[in-house]
Structure 1
Amino acid sequence: MPARVITHTKSKTLKQFTQVRDFTPAPKVTLKDVNQHVVAAQYAVRGLIPMKAEELREKLTSDPDSLPFESIINANIGNPQQLQQPPLSFYREVLSILQNPKLLETDLYANDVKERAQKLLNAAQSVGAYSHSQGIAYVRHSVAHFIQKRDNGVFADPSNIFLTTGASDAVKAVLEVLLTGEKDNGVLIPIPQYPLYTAALALKNATPIPYYLKEEQQWSTDIEHIDELVKSAKSFGITPKILVVINPGNPTGAVLTREAIREIIEVAAQNGLVIIADEVYQENIFDGEFFSFKSVLAELQNEHAEKFENVQLASLHSTSKGVSGECGQRGGYMELVGFNSEIKQLFLKLASISLCPVVTGQALVELMVNPPKEGDESYERDQAERKAIHDSYKSKAEAMYEAFSELENIEVQKPQGAMYLFPRIILNDVVKEVAESHGLKPDEFYCLRLLEETGICVVPGSGFGQVEGTFHVRTTFLPPGEEWIKHWATFHKEFMHKYAEI
């Protein structure tokens, strides 16, 4: 029996679709209707000054002669490949095969490149397929091997490793599992700190407990200060639950000593604080030595097992930093140390809700922790590329430190690692008054003028936290060349002269 065809006249169809019920339209969602924790969250790295930088960039595009500079220098964020750092060849060649497996049939790449790509394809099946929510098992085993080698044989269990979409998602996962959403949940964060932490705590309705680093002592940690803060927080009804440590430091560039790490772990053990060890800059060491929190915890447990057996640690790493610089690929991992199995199951449940981390990011984690070895075809090239990037970081850091050290009204600590300097700018009452008249904080005013006159975009220290009455800026030293540093020095001298006290 043929299907019945229903037809309508054109006028009837239009009439059906043009008639609506009679009602008063409801208003749109406004700020007062939404999650106020989102409204309250601040993230200075992409805040007022970077937004102004994008506005000026668009202006330069439409009218190249409209500003007193030719381009915007993005020194506000550790984004290496935006600033002309080349990607590591081994990474990209393996990734290209993962995206297009037919390249395995060609002679374009060295055998070790194709072998690694094949192993990853065997493990993942395809970068277009979901993986296990905790991450590809092959990659997690590679991470465990890397950790054991880094920490001189301290055992790493692949089942305790979670691959993540960048280290930021690992931070969010720890906070999601451990914080209850109540205001009495306290989290100790270093000041200055990476703004992700204060923003994430605002979203979780938790109370940040800032502990100030000692600037005059290379941004070192004051354990007595932390002890006092824990006691004080408890007296106000706040329960400290987590202690955040960033090592090497962002924005300070400082590297913690083994003894400092031991003291921090002692405080955590005594007060039941879960440690978040943000160790994403562990490859960026110019002065001193990197000690992982896990390795130092293992030392303490060997010496005093009964005192440190309950310490819980979440250690984070990322493909965005180091010499990898693959920020946009979003690869990272988190190792959970000392957590009970039922708590680890909560982390797995949380990971399952998002299905899986980005699979190409997982592949990059494997390449980061398992680079070509001596004897591999790609080894010498890979080593040369890594050395060039690391040496470039070190020389740029030294050049910027020396330039700042020669300027009046700037105090700066020598960077030991990471990608940043956090110089203190001495600003007088004239600057403070002018800034206030513009509705700005003094360090914001300085950064805005620097941007508008030179095109250099940096972040005010107030976005990271600083001792009251002091003013800083965070700058990365990643932009190519040193000419921009000279332009900054010229601006600084002119700024200080213009706003000199009468």
Structure 2
Amino acid sequence: MAASSSSSSSYKPVLTVESINPHVPNVEYAVRGELSNRANDYANILAEGKGKERGLAFPSVVSANIGNPQQQPFLAQKPLTFWRQVAALTEYPALLDAKLPDDVFPRDVKDRARHILDDVGSVGAYSHSKGAASIRKHVAEFIQERDGHPSDPEMIYLTAGASAGVQLLLSILIAGPQVGVMIPIPQYPLYSAALAFYGAQPVRYFLDAHHDWAIDVDAMARQVDESRQKGIDVRACCVINPGNPTGSCLSRKNIEDILKMAHDKRLVVMADEVYQANIYQPDTLPFISFKKVLRDFEKDEATKNIASEVELVSFHSISKGVSGECGRRGGYFELTNISSDVEAQVYKMASVNLCPSLQGQIGVDLLVRPPRQGEPSYELWKHETQSIHETLEARSKKMAGKFNELEGIQCNEAQGALYLFPEITLPQKAIEAAQKEKRQPDLFYCLKMLDATGICVVPGSGFGKMPDLEQRKVFLRTTVLAKETDEFVERFGTFHKKFLEEYA
């Protein structure tokens, strides 16, 4: 018999903020927070044609807070034709036998779709938990061609974006609240958020803003020692190269020193290399993978043991580069020098999630095996990818140049990735106004700018780079993806000048 109910029920909700996992309220993810929510509200108001009625002083929202290149209508990077053609055929294989012109589905597009379908069967079916075997084989070939060293497909896991891979590895690495993981400051907030969720200890190492965000490896080593003396079991070091949010690139010497330090201090290296195709100074600062540098140590008898002993996990993604396929959720990680017993546990945990998205996996295949010269799709693919890369580089340089023309702003030119991270000196009255609102000064500045211009960026504190109140210096991160770059810099410059006047 069903229990009776009445309007005076004494039922109390099971789920409250006090009863849920206590780590969840500690998780923060600044790129989608208060600023982003307000920007979305403004975008909805403008879409309804009520901007003037609601007092908005701008015609559009500029979403410069997140690296989401194909976001419509704000960024609107066009998808690569080859990718979408292959994806269409894998979604609806009947088109393979349809009598359509070759310019709709060129021969190499059909060949690629057939090859993928021969392995996966249907994009509606589960694949192997590590990902489709043929795609992992292609990833291994890509890595070997890139680095000049062998890669084992069985040590490659396809994932739902690099973020899923990072979280999977952290979930295995973190054995309790005493475990520490080194993260750069400033850092992409995935890392601090994941550590907060797993209840682990962030061990921060600081990048030098005034020397192209250089890494002081000796200081990192001291930080490991000091943290261990405090009882923190420091187990891993996360490195983002090219950098997010800094746009910096590591030299070979930087990478060598980090790997030597990791060997000396017994640290797993987690190399986030999702921006490896976004390089703007290839002659002086080309992308060099941690895997390549690690294996290159084999050439010298004095460092040979480093090559075979340092535990390395390398991550890549289809969300960045020139593809910008964020919504497909595709990525991979490669395990290097990880014990077979631990690899078995990684496989088990990957199996719990059954498999990553099949279209994400297909995206990885297209990332690592683009059209080759002489194939029907090559010329269009080359034109599209070069155009995107040149556009991103030009926007980056233009925005950095305009920032540096403004009073109180200093901005390093991006060496890679999709971001700029300018430093801003605020008037003391602005600091005091922020304190009255009980906000960080960088968030105060960013909210004022959003309200005045529709530009949405992320305060530096969201990446762990806290305001220096004594020097009155704050940071913010902006993407270089806005299609209205000229309008962006004009709106930003106008706002900044008025802000300085208002709080002078």
TM-score bracket, normalised by the shorter chain, equals over 0.9
Q: 2 CA distance for matches of 1:171 and 1:266?
A: 22
The reply to whether residue 477 of structure 1 matches residue 480 of structure 2 is yes
Q: How far is 1:306 from its partner?
A: 2.5
Alpha-carbon offset, residue 429 of structure 1: 1.9
Q: CA deviation at 1:29?
A: 2.3
The match for 2:500 is 496
Amino acid at match of 1:404: F
Q: Corresponding residue for 2:123?
A: 127
Please state whether the residue corresponding to 1:478 is helix, strand or coil. coil
For 1:250 and 1:275, how far apart are their aligned partners in 2?
A: 17
Instruction: Find out whether 1:458 has 2:457 as its counterpart.
Output: yes
Q: Counterpart of 2:333 in 1: which secondary structure?
A: strand
Say which of 12, 17, 30 aligns to 1:44: 30
Q: Deviations over 1:80-138 (max 9, x none)?
A: 00111000000000000011001101223100000000000001000000000000000
Give the 3 Å change call, closer, same or farther, for CA 308–31 of structure 1 in structure 2. same
What are the equivalent positions in structure 2 for 1:279-428 lying under 5 Å apart?
A: 279-287=273-281, 288-303=285-300, 304-428=303-427
Which position in structure 2 is the counterpart of 1:105?
A: 97
- The counterpart of 2:237, out of the listed 220, 243, 257, is 243
CA distance in 1, matches of 2:66, 2:220: 29
Letter in 1 for 2:159: T
Secondary structure (helix, strand or coil) at the match of 1:383 reads helix
More deviation in 62-71 or 355-364? 62-71
Amino acid across the alignment from 1:358: S
Give the TM-score taking structure 2 as reference length. Answer: 0.94
Q: In the aligned structure 2, how far is the partner of 1:277 from the partner of 1:99? A: 33
Local SS of the residue matching 2:474: coil
Which residue of the partner structure matches residue 91 of structure 1? 83
Aligned-residue offset at 1:486 = 1.1
1:27/1:368 CA distance change after superposition, 3 Å: closer
CA shift at 1:60, angstroms? 2.3
What is the rounded CA distance, in whole Å, between the counterparts of 2:162 and 2:306 in structure 1? 29
SS in structure 1 of the partner of residue 356 of structure 2: coil
**SS of the residue 1:33 aligns to:** coil
Provide the rounded CA distance (Å) in 2 between the counterparts of 1:18 and 1:243. Answer: 55
2:428 — aligned with what? 429
Tell me how far apart the structure 2 counterparts of residues 193 and 39 of structure 1 sit (CA, whole Å): 20
Question: Shift of residue 183 of structure 1?
Answer: 1.9
Paired with 1:23 and 1:319, the residues of 2 have a C-alpha distance of 51
Tell me the SS of whatever aligns to 1:250.
Answer: coil
CA offsets per residue over residues 389-435 of structure 1, 9 Å max, x none? 00000000000011011111111111000000000011132111100
Give the equivalent residue in structure 2 for 1:4.
Answer: none
The question of whether the paired residues in 1 share the 8 Å contact of 2:179 and 2:235 is answered with yes
Say whether residues 1:35 and 2:18 are aligned partners.
Answer: no
Counterpart among 63, 66, 72 of residue 74 in structure 1: 63
Specify the code of the residue in structure 2 equivalent to 1:124.
Answer: V
Superposed displacement of residue 485, structure 1: 1.3
User: Counterparts of 1:476 and 1:256 in 2: how far apart (Å)?
Assistant: 20
Is contact 1:193–1:251 with CA below 8 Å preserved after alignment?
yes
Preserved CA contact (<8 Å) 2:427 2:500: no
On the 8 A contact 1:269/1:308 being kept in 2, the answer is no
1:5 is matched with none
Partner of 1:10: none
Distance 1:18 1:179, change over 3 A: closer
Alignment of 1:75-224 (within 5 A): 75-82=64-71, 83-106=75-98, 107=100, 108-151=104-147, 153-180=148-175, 182-224=176-218
Shift of 1:51: 1.2
Which stretches in structure 2 are left out of the alignment for 5+ residues?
A: none
Pairing 1:232-271 to 2, within 5 Å after superposition: 232-271=226-265
Q: Number of residue pairs matched?
A: 483
Is contact 2:294-2:306 (8 Å) kept?
no
Q: What's the offset of the Cα at 1:32?
A: 0.8
Query: CA 1:23 to 1:294, structure 2 compared with 1: closer, same or farther past 3 Å?
Result: same
1:60-79, Cα deviation, whole Å (9 max, x unpaired): 23313231011111000000
Residue identity opposite 2:234 in structure 1: P
Distance in 2, matches of 1:305 and 1:27, equals: 59
Cα distance in structure 2, aligned partners of 1:353 and 1:27: 30
- Aligned-pair distance for 1:438? 1.2
Deviates more, 1:164-173 or 1:423-432: 423-432
CA deviations 1:308-346 (Å, max 9, x no partner) are 421011000000000010000000000000001111111
Paired letter, 2:414: P
Bigger mean CA offset, 123-132 vs 301-310: 301-310
Q: Out of 380-389 and 307-316, give the one that drifted further.
A: 307-316
Counterpart position of 1:8: none
Letter in 2 for 1:212: F
Q: CA deviation at 1:187?
A: 0.5
For 1:47 and 1:257, how far apart are their aligned partners in 2?
A: 33
Pair 51,341 (structure 1): closer, same or farther in 2 beyond 3 Å? same
Deviates more, 1:64-73 or 1:119-128: 64-73
What is the distance in 2 between the residues matched to 1:168 and 1:19?
A: 47
Q: RMSD across aligned C-alpha pairs, in angstroms? A: 1.4
Q: Distance in 1 between matches of 2:9 and 2:188?
A: 49
Fraction of identical pairs, as percent: 44
- Separation of aligned partners in 2, 1:340 and 1:92: 38
Q: 2:41 aligned with 1:55, yes or no?
A: yes
Q: Which residue of structure 2 lines up, in the alignment, with residue 64 of structure 1?
A: 51
Instruction: Report the 3-state secondary structure (helix = DSSP H, G, I; strand = E; otherwise coil) of the residue aligned with 2:18.
Output: helix
Q: Which runs of at least 4 in structure 1 moved beyond 3 Å after TM superposition?
A: 16-24
1:76 corresponds to which letter in structure 2?
N
Q: Distance in 1 between matches of 2:173 and 2:405?
A: 46
Q: Separation in 2 of the partners of 1:474 and 1:225?
A: 25
CA contact (8 A) 1:212 1:467 kept: no
